Homo-oligomer: A and B are copies of this chain.
Amino acid sequence: MAGHNHAPTIADVAKRAGVSIATVSRVVNGNTPVIDETAKRVRSAISDLHYHPRAAARVLASRRTDTLGLLLPEIGGEFFSPLLRGIESEARLAGYDLLVHATSHIPHASTPAPHRPLAEHNTDGLIVFTQSIDLDELARLHRNKFPLVLLYQTPPAKTEIPSVMIENKSGAQKLVNHLIEVHGRRRIAFLRGPDGNEDSVERERGYRAALKSHGLAFDPALIGVGGFNEEDGQAAVRKLMADRVDFDAIVAGDDDSAIGALHALKLAGRRVPDEVAVTGFDDLPVARYISPALTTVRAPIEQIGREAVRKLTGLIRGQPAGGRALMRTELVIRESCGCSPDRASPDADSATRR
């Protein structure tokens, strides 16, 4: 057993192969022709020595990090896992590493942010999820031509930051259309999400558009605040009933609040879907299991992640921005809308878990 005890560097390899470090670099990166014979010697030196290039040295010299950054708000939720899977694997495919940062709260614009965890200094580009970064910082990065892609978020006015979002509006619209056309509902309540949430705003837009297109008037009394969680969904419906609002359907802002709504209805002895139809949004795994099974809307979450990465790597390569991508959403008919289990589309989910 000979040699230094420390990790081998490119120089060690060069010496052992009897070539210059430049040649080793060329072999490793495969971007410049090297005589086969030489390359072979280099390669065996590499494997003999267990040589692995230091990422930092490469980055420093090449000014590329080969790393993508993902900025998220506090992580949670069942759609998070497919999203990350999509992003991670697509990034990998494109030859990038993935640095993940979850902001525990939206930073106040005030502090000069002494330590930005993810930015130009350690990534080649950023995927920015809703509410994970303040807009000033976003604008600054964009101004500096730093590659950025927004997820589930409309680009701030004036900036042309590319983004990937889902068809919230048309998704909600399809839901309401179904309720009206197939099940003849006319007093349809809508449960909003958290204040200022874009998804919620768009979904409500879809809800209103559907009403309008069927000649149904919008009634503010039918609006509740579901908050995108079970408790709020339940409370919202309880309030609706307490207020003696007349409704024969509830379009919840998301699946979680739909579950809350279902619960409130059950406690009040209102039968679903006979007396009240209920729909969600997201198609969480739970949606299939609750009873009645939840009619909802599904977005291709994993693909959204992939698309975001593709846009970002495109930007990094200097390709034209690409603008806004709207990912199609799909109606998932189950039972809570009033459709019979049979009529319900066969569950194509072969949801693989773990």
Q: Which residues of A contact B (CB under 8 A)?
A: 7, 47, 52-57, 59-60, 65, 67, 74-82, 84-85, 88-89, 92, 97-102, 104, 112, 116-122, 228-231, 254, 256, 259, 284-286, 289-291, 350-354
> With the chains together, A26 CA to B109 CA distance in Å?
26
Q: Report B-chain residues with C-beta under 8 Å of the C-beta of A60.
A: 54, 56-57, 60
B121 and A256 within 8 A (CB): no
B residues in contact with A120, CB < 8 Å: 7, 52
* A–B complex contacts, Cβ < 8 Å, 17 sampled: A7-B121, A47-B112, A52-B120, A52-B121, A75-B84, A75-B88, A76-B85, A78-B78, A78-B81, A92-B104, A97-B117, A98-B101, A230-B351, A231-B350, A254-B354, A285-B286, A286-B286
- Contact status of A121 and B55, CB under 8 A, knowing A81-B76, A97-B99, A112-B47: yes
Which single residue of chain B is at the shortest CB-CB distance from A255?
Answer: B353
Known interface pairs A98-B101, A101-B88, A102-B88. Does A52 touch B116 (Cβ–Cβ under 8 Å)?
yes
Contact of A352 among B76, B92, B351, B352 (CB under 8 A): B76
Q: Given contacts A76-B354, A97-B101, list 16 more A-B pairs with CB under 8 A.
A: A7-B120, A7-B121, A47-B112, A52-B119, A55-B121, A74-B85, A76-B81, A76-B352, A88-B101, A88-B102, A92-B102, A97-B118, A99-B99, A286-B289, A289-B290, A290-B290
A76 cross-chain contacts in B, Cβ below 8 A:
81-82, 85, 352-354
Q: How far is the CB of A101 from chain B (nearest CB, A)?
A: 7
Chain B residues near A231 (CB-CB < 8 A) = 350
How many angstroms between the C-alpha atoms of A45 and B301 in the bound complex?
Answer: 44
Nearest B-chain residue to A70, judged by Cβ: B100
List, in ascending order, chain B residues with CB within 8 A of A55's CB. Answer: 56, 59, 65, 121-122
Given contacts A60-B54, A81-B77, A122-B56, is CB(A256)–CB(B89) below 8 Å? no
Given A78-B285, A101-B98, A116-B52: A229 and B290 interface contact (C-beta under 8 Å)? no
Asked if residues B53 and A121 are in contact (CB atoms below 8 Å), the reply is: yes
- Neighbouring B residues of A119 by C-beta, 8 Å: 52
With a cutoff of 8 Å between Cβ atoms, the chain B residues found around residue A92 in the complex are 101-102, 104, 117
B residues in contact with A104, CB < 8 Å = 89, 92
A78 CA / B116 CA spacing, docked (Å): 30
Complex Cα–Cα for A85 and B100 (A): 11
A354 CA to B81 CA in the complex, in Å? Answer: 11
Partner of A98, one of B82, B100, B289: B100
Contact present for B121 and A354 (CB under 8 Å)? no
